[in-house]
Amino acid sequence: MAILQKSTSDYDAILVGAGIMSATLAILLTEIYPDINILIVEKLESAGQESTSAFNNAGTGHAANCELNYTPINNAGEIEFRKALSINNSFEKSLELWASLYEKGKIDCKKFLRFTPHISFVSGEEDFNFLEKRYQLLSKFNEFKDMEFSSNFPEISSWAPLINKNRNKNIKIAATRVKRGTDIDFGSLTSEYLKYLVNNKNVELNYLTEVFDLNKLKNNNWAVHLNKGGKRKTLIAKYIFLGAGGKSITLLQKSKIPEGRLFGGFPVSGKWLICENNELTTQHNAKVYGKAAIGSPPMSVPHLDARWINGKRYLLFGPFAGSTTKFLKEGSFFDLFNSLKINNILPAFDVGFKNLDLIKYLISQSIQNHSSRIKSLKKMMPSANSNDWYLKNAGQRVQIIKKTQKGGVLKFGTEIINSSDGSLSALLGASPGASTAVNIMTEVLRNSCFLKDNKEFFEKRISNLITLDCKYQENIKSRNNSILGFHQFT
Ligand SMILES: Cc1cc2nc3c(=O)[nH]c(=O)nc-3n(C[C@H](O)[C@H](O)[C@H](O)COP(=O)(O)OP(=O)(O)OC[C@H]3O[C@@H](n4cnc5c(N)ncnc54)[C@H](O)[C@@H]3O)c2cc1C
């Protein structure tokens, strides 16, 4: 049954890329419109292999429990808390959807989610005062009422022993902990969604197939041009979602919608230090976030993460940033240059000039060697031994360059771009990312052609799945905890 107005098309929707964003959108669409037919096109041989893959991101269920960059100090010298509340509420919607699908036997949360304490850790007088103030402010809100604060050395050691081993006791330290944090394997979550969709819904998945172009037809449908192993094919869809990660910007430019002309991309690569030594991995059951060095960008916040990937425990420290011109790990070195167009070249240069410190930071990060990376790790884990750690590439982030009247601005968040008729949506940017995919994709749908005439129907169906317009509800956390189970490391 066609969901949108009747016309000749092969699919109601084509979603480009099989990462967490397209998979989440497909789940929401099929839960709301069970008869919809969707094609997901992926250029690699399986799903979730780019930023969504477990080793390509930190796997933190971002709920603003521990990420100090979500509570910056504003010009008046006060701690800003609104972003923290909004991210917390967004993540709660993800938990709510997972709990709802788990309850109906559609996905298995044990495959991708572990409750893992989230800790913020700082040292030195200034950061101690900041963390104490942040705790006093946030713990007044229901969202953070379980947050604990400690400046007691033995207590912090009991929360995260590796943080304090060999630490100088003369320097003041402080930490906050939220026990109900999460570690999430977003690659496995994507596989859970897709397995269910392909087996139970009108959802097709085409691997090793690249969307190389798209154009709008007179009847407002989209012609999507595909390449599978050299064979070209064109399919028609009423709606298209560009969930191609870093490459969404390129496809957005090819779509030629006027809304896309404002954007360019600035790629940043990432690297982790990884440890597999069982003696250490079994001692650390937390995600410990520190404070970014003054002047460094938000994605540079150092953290030491307990991870559980494919049944094995790891420690991950980073991310270390690097300069690159690729928009995807499996991308091309020409990606950045090919994305420069008449509309965005001046904003791109403007951003370059305005962010010389960032460029210097990226260059300095790129030329680091193993011992200088271990030196950074030692600030978080003084007893670290370089032989226990090796370097691994993380995913690519493509930060948004947005054209303004005065030139360009570099944005570190996420941006949803919709064509005026709602027949195309694109997702740009990387933060807070996969954790808030449910909230982001709900917004994508709210601005899409699917909602044109049936807003009420949409809101009713989606409110059965997730709690929208998140006025915090006391019962959600306890409900999710009992449904998802409290999976601690054993
Ligand atoms: C270092 C790092 C750490 C991060 N840490 C966290 C974290 O702790 N928590 C969190 O919530 N988020 C985190 N993120 C962000 C998160 O990983 C991303 O927001 C999320 O994975 C993006 O998913 P996506 O589906 O948009 O893109 P991707 O996972 O990149 O998927 C895009 C897919 O599109 C495919 N594709 C591209 N072009 C085409 C084409 N032309 N045709 C067909 N297919 C195409 C690609 O092959 C890929 O499979 C982190 C990111 C990085 C880089």
Is the CB of 430 within 6 Å of ligand 1?
A: yes
Q: At what angle do helices 82-103 and 437-446 cross, to 10 degrees?
A: 90
Residue 162 φ/ψ, nearest 5 degrees:
-65, -25
Domain membership flag for residue 422: yes
pLDDT at 479: 61
- Does the Cβ of 116 fall within 6 Å of ligand 1? no
Is residue 36 situated within a structural domain? yes
Cβ(50) to ligand 1 under 6 A?
yes
SS3 per residue for the chain: CCCCCCCCCCEEEEEECCCHHHHHHHHHHHHHCCCCCEEEECCCCCCCCCCCCHHHCCCECCCCCCCHHHCCECCCCCECCHHHHHHHHHHHHHHHHHHHHHHCCCCCHHHCEEECCEEEEEECHHHHHHHHHHHHHHCCCHHHCCCEEECCHHHHHHHCHHHHCCCCCCCCEEEEEECCCEEECHHHHHHHHHHHHHHHCCEEEECCEEEEEEEECCCCCEEEEEEECCEEEEEEEEEEEECCHHHHHHHHHHHCCHHHHHEEEEEEEEEEEEECCHHHHCCCCCEEECCCCCCCCHHHCCEEEEEEECCEEEEEEEEEEEECCCCCCCCCCCHHHHHCCCCCHHHHHHHHHHCHHHHHHHHHHHCCCHHHHHHHHHHHCCCCCHHHEEEEECCCEEEEEEEECCEEEEECCEEEEECCCCCEEEEEECCCHHHHHHHHHHHHHHCCHHHCCCHHHHHHHHHHHCCCCCCCCHHHHHHHHHHHCCCCCC
The total domain count for the chain is 1
Q: Which pLDDT score, from 0 to 100, does residue 353 have?
A: 81
318 lines ligand 1 (CB under 6 A): no
Residue 337 counted as domain residue = no
Give the domain range for residue 146.
Answer: 11-264+412-483
Whether residue 203 has its Cβ less than 6 Å from ligand 1 = no
Is 418 a pocket residue for ligand 1 (Cβ < 6 Å)? no
The Å distance, Cα 457 to ligand 1 centre, comes to: 31
pLDDT digits (tens, 9 = 90+) for 300-358: 789 999 999 998 999 999 999 888 899 999 999 998 888 888 888 888 888 888 888 87
Give residue 19 CA to ligand 1 midpoint distance, Å: 6
| CA 396 / ligand 1 centre spacing (Å) | 8
Q: Which residue CA neighbors atom 19 of ligand 1 most closely? A: 433
Please name the residues in contact with 33: beta carbons below 8 A apart, sequence gap of 6 or more. 3, 12, 450
Q: Whose CA is nearest to atom 35 of ligand 1?
A: 17
Instruction: Answer yes or no: is the C-beta of 59 below 6 A from any ligand 1 atom.
Output: yes
* Ligand 1 atom with minimal separation from the 396 CA: 53
Q: Would 311 be classed as within a structural domain?
A: no
- Top mutation candidate among 52, 67, 112, 193 for ligand 1, by most atoms within 8 Å of CB: 52
Q: CB-based contacts of 470: which residues, under 8 Å, 6+ apart? A: 89, 90, 92, 93
Predicted local distance difference test score (pLDDT) of residue 475: 57
The CATH number covering residue 105 comes to 3.50.50.60
Q: Which atom of ligand 1 is nearest to the CA of 23?
A: 25
Cα 50 to ligand 1 centre (Å): 5
* Omega before 72 within 30 of 0, i.e. cis: no
- Is 274 part of any domain? no
Does the beta carbon of 21 lie inside 6 Å of ligand 1?
yes
Tell me, yes or no, whether 279 lies in a domain.
no
pLDDT at 277: 97
- Asked if residues 252 and 428 have their Cβ atoms less than 8 Å apart, the reply is yes
Q: Does residue 339 fall inside a structural domain?
A: no
* pLDDT of amino acid 481: 64
- What's this model's pTM, rounded to 2 decimal places? 0.93
List the chain residues with pLDDT less than 50. 1-2, 6, 468-472, 487-490
In a domain, 304, yes or no: no
Q: Hey, how many other C-beta atoms are within 10 angstroms of the C-beta on 32? A: 21
The reply to whether ligand 1 has any atom less than 6 angstroms from the CB of 57 is yes
The finding on whether 19 has its CB within 6 A of some atom of ligand 1 is yes
